[in-house]
Amino acid sequence: MARKTLPTIETKEKIVNRRIRLSERLNSDITAFAAFYEAEKGNKPDENAVIVAILQDYFDANNEFKKFKKSQNNSEPNNVTTTEKVKPVSKAVA
């Protein structure tokens, strides 16, 4: 399967903070990829968005990982969806 040159870089998704440590080489590659993306698309993405897009592109292309995720989702109990609002539980003060 041919890989696409550039991943889609989303900018309007809910963000969860996660700290990672990178080698200097990988950090340099991320910076270079952002510059490459800018040269190809005309706008420079945030380097965090580059990391997210590359990871998502990898996960989306990995068929074995997709099968694994699907098997994990099928083994979990079914979640029942409802339109009923859940009332918050207040803690009793002793």
Q: Band of the pLDDT at 8, cuts 50, 70, 90?
A: confident
For 17, 28, 31, 53, the CA distances from 7, given in Å and listed in that order, are 21, 18, 15, 6
pLDDT of residue 56 exceeding 70, the answer is yes
pLDDT, tens digit (0-9, with 9 covering 90-100), for 16-49: 888 999 999 999 999 999 999 999 999 999 999 8
CA distances from 76 to 8, 70, 72 (A): 30, 10, 7
Helix (H) or strand (E) holding 61: helix 47-61
Specify the range with the lowest mean pLDDT, choosing from 19-33, 48-62, 75-89. Answer: 75-89
Domain ranges for the chain = 1-94
Q: Which pTM was predicted?
A: 0.62
The residue behind tokens 């590659």 is 29
Q: How far apart are the first and last CA of the chain?
A: 63
